[in-house]
Structure 1
Amino acid sequence: MTKELTVCTETLINAHASKVWEVLVNPEYVAQWDELPENYPEENMTVGSKVVWKLPNGEQSITSISKAVPNLELVIDLYGTAWKVKPQAGEVAYHYNLIDKDNQTLLKIEIGDFSIIENGQMYYDASIEFAEVSKAEIKKLAESL
């Protein structure tokens, strides 16, 4: 039996959920806490929005939004074309949950479960650092709006 490889973290943000949401879906802000390809569209991301990265080996890494409930929940699926397993929606994903806390927003982030894919530990390890850096930047941006 494989161990679940899911990164879980959270941060309390001194901003309304609508501001946190804006930082999560507006490419102008997303580019400050995550990578986006050059010339990515300026419109806010919604269900079906994709980011496709061409990898040096000719494969692709693809993220696509499978769920977007404004001010509450965002799910961004992750898939690599070299992966032997094609995950179902939400199986290997970035989950962002926003919880209202009296004029503040608790942002919960879960990234994974990488146990279902080959080299899952590598993705899990990289996601630990990504989660810590991105949540701090999301907090800073939302509090500055």
Structure 2
Amino acid sequence: MSKLFVDKTIEINALASKVWDVLTISEYNRQWALEFSSGGPQFHLESTWELGSPVLWKGQDGTVIVEGNVTAVEQNKLLRFTVFDVRSPERPPVTEEDGITFKMSEDNRKTTLHILQGDFSVMTDGKKYRDASAEIWDKVLPRVKEMAEQH
């Protein structure tokens, strides 16, 4: 089966450092992470964003909903981390490219943010989950853009 990834890009009229802040600082990411909850529990991301450090998606009550680890980091340029639903009974094998990857490239005070999420092909009903995730990113990315441009 071929790999299934969400692959999205957005242009942001802000420096890469501003985009980085919106992605990594809890007070900002709790605002765009609302799009992932779609009526469910609200959550935010917590991490030191250092290589190998845990990434915890925590609900309002502090319960960990999703966890992972930072697998690649280059401040203001690249951030990749794995993503596992802690409620899932088993974890599929992961490769270097799996999880969520944010790539930022800055040119003339504008940042191109590229997001890659997957591989969904290792999951049962992977296409359904990939398509649902793509719809969420279609809401998240404009929110990240708006916040970085105002920040």
TM over 0.5: yes
| Residue 129 in structure 1 maps to residue 135 in structure 2 | yes
1:49 Cα deviation after fit:
3.1
Unaligned residue ranges in structure 1 (runs of 5+): 55-59
Q: 1:62 to 1:122 in 2, by over 3 A?
A: farther
Unaligned residue ranges in structure 2 (runs of 5+): 35-41, 60-64
For the residues of structure 2 that align with 1:113 and 1:131, how far apart are their CA atoms?
15
Would you identify which runs of 4 or more consecutive aligned residues in structure 1 move more than 6 Å? none
For the residues of structure 1 that align with 2:106 and 2:149, how far apart are their CA atoms?
15
1:57 alignment partner in structure 2: none
> TM-score if structure 2 supplies the norm length?
0.77
Number of residues of Structure 1 aligned to a counterpart in Structure 2: 136
**SS of match in other structure, 1:128:** helix
Does the aligned pair in 2 maintain the 1:16–1:100 contact within 8 Å?
Answer: yes
Does the aligned pair in 2 maintain the 1:84–1:117 contact within 8 Å?
Answer: no
| Residue 49 in structure 1 maps to residue 54 in structure 2 | yes
Does the aligned pair in 1 maintain the 2:106–2:112 contact within 8 Å?
Answer: yes
2:131 counterpart letter in structure 1: D
Q: Which residue, 80, 84, 103 being the options, matches 1:75?
A: 80
1:144 Cα deviation after fit:
0.3
2:67 alignment partner in structure 1: 62
1:68 counterpart letter in structure 2: V
Q: 1:33 to 1:52 in 2, by over 3 A?
A: closer
For the residues of structure 2 that align with 1:135 and 1:34, how far apart are their CA atoms?
10
1:52 Cα deviation after fit:
4.9
Give RMSD over aligned pairs.
2.4
Q: 1:82 to 1:61 in 2, by over 3 A?
A: farther
Q: Which residue, 104, 120, 128 being the options, matches 1:98?
A: 104
Q: 1:26 to 1:122 in 2, by over 3 A?
A: same
- More divergent stretch after superposition (82-91 vs 113-122): 82-91
1:122 Cα deviation after fit:
2.8
1:24 alignment partner in structure 2: 23
| Residue 86 in structure 1 maps to residue 109 in structure 2 | no
Per-residue CA deviation, residues 91-131 of structure 1 (Å, 9 max, x unaligned), is: 2x111000012110000011111112223223202211121
For the residues of structure 2 that align with 1:134 and 1:108, how far apart are their CA atoms?
12
Q: Which residue, 125, 140, 143 being the options, matches 2:146?
A: 140
**Residue identity (%):** 25
